[in-house]
Amino acid sequence: MRLLRGVAIGAAAWLSACALGPAPRGGPSLLDDYRRAGSAFALAEIPNDLSGISYSPESGTHFLVENGAGNLYEYSSDLRSQLRKFRLVGGPSRDFEAVAVLGNSKLALAHEQNRVVIVTIPAADADTELSVDPNDPEVQELVLPTRAKRNRGLEGLCYDAAGNAGGGTFYAVQESSPRRIYRFDRPADGANASVADGSLRVQEPFDAEEVFSGIAEDLSGCAYDPRSGRLLVLSHLSSVLVDVSTEGEVVRVLRLPGVLRRGAVQYEGITLGPGGKLFLVSESALFQRASRALIYEYTGAGERSNRGRDAERVEEGPIQ
């Protein structure tokens, strides 16, 4: 009962932080109501392989994960200041690709090996270690279907706090070979669970290979939008953000700016932040020496004709 109450409080806090309130599900894409807020900027403390981001309405901060190095960072609400750094210890390797805030100081980390671990963020003020060892009683591990190819596993993870009757539902994206969207409920008992032994039930709500064909060459990140009940899915190879329903209907595709348009090279993570802002993060690449962030501001309904030239809209169908 305490868990369900905490999740409900977290969902309410999310809507309050976004300052948008509940909105009818479905309908026009909210991407039409966004405008880019300036140029992409460097996150100098994360030089390589920034792979995921998630906003916590409870703390008013962002959590970012760096793959390969096994580091988790906490940043201010505007992403301009690093607050803490967590060294991830234990587990099969340090190749974590995505992060999703769950509420009540809990967050989930998605691993390239198609595993998700749920951990508790410590209350320490300084940098510290954080166990991701599935044998640790404080860590919960969820094992998804085995990836088909090496380095083509989970790349994105997002969370619907109101799903599963308030128990919470995850959406995870597998990068490619094949592209996949997984949906699974958060186990309420806090125990480890796996597809292999039947203790974790994982569904594919739609055929991602078919839905994203000609639109997104790979899948690199996702965010669940409680306002529409849809997913915002990133592709780093195609540099697009896709608004897609949980049944596989593509509602809108937004082209993301490259370096020459004051954007970034390799978009890997997305989250909804305060005021409904979209925060996107990118790995460093080419001549860039640090990971980068880009922010889109929510202008609200009725501002669709004034989104700005940098927020190019692409209608449904293949991208030329």
- Which pLDDT tens digit goes with each residue over 182-219? 999 999 999 999 999 999 999 999 999 999 999 999 99
Residue 304 carries which DSSP code? G
Residues facing residue 55 across a β-bridge: 62
Q: How confident is the model at residue 300 (pLDDT cuts 50, 70, 90)?
A: confident
- How far, in Å, CA of 43 to CA of 293, rounded? 7
Rounded Cα distance between 61 and 63, Å, is: 7
Report the distance separating Cα 110 and Cα 118, nearest Å: 9
* CA atoms within 13 A of residue 138's CA, in its CB half-sphere: 11
For residues 29 and 13, the answer to whether their CB atoms sit within 8 Å is: no
What is residue 203's DSSP assignment?
B
Given a contact cutoff of 8 angstroms between Cβ atoms, the answer to whether 253 and 215 are in contact is yes
- CA 115 → CA 31, 170, 209, distances in Å? 30, 12, 21
Cα–chain center distance at 73: 15
Q: What is the pLDDT of residue 4?
A: 32
**How far is residue 26's CA from residue 46's CA, in Å, rounded to a whole number?**
36
| Tens digit of each residue's pLDDT (9 = 90 or more) over 6-60 | 333 343 333 333 333 333 455 789 999 999 999 999 998 897 789 999 999 999 9
d(CA 3, CA 275): 27
Predicted pLDDT of residue 18 = 37
Q: Does the N-terminal peptide bond of residue 122 adopt cis geometry, omega within 30 degrees of 0?
A: no
The C-alpha atoms of residue 100 and residue 55 are separated, in whole angstroms, by 8
- Decide if pLDDT at 5 tops 60: no
For the chain, the domains span 2-314
* Edge-to-edge order in the sheet of strand 61-66: 50-56, 61-66, 71-75, 82-89, 128-131
The arithmetic mean of pLDDT across residues 175-179, rounded, is 92
- Among 154, 71, 144, 164, which Cα is nearest to 111's? 154
Contacts of 235 (CB under 8 A, 6+ apart): 212, 215, 216, 217, 218, 219, 220, 242, 267
pLDDT tens digits along 132-172: 999 999 999 999 998 877 767 899 999 999 999 999 999 99
Name 250's Cβ contacts closer than 8 Å, sequence gap at least 6.
211, 215, 242, 243, 244, 316
Closest CA to 159 of 97, 102, 81: 102
Question: Tell me, what's the pLDDT at 107?
Answer: 97
CATH of domain 2-314: 2.120.10
Q: What is the reported pTM?
A: 0.86
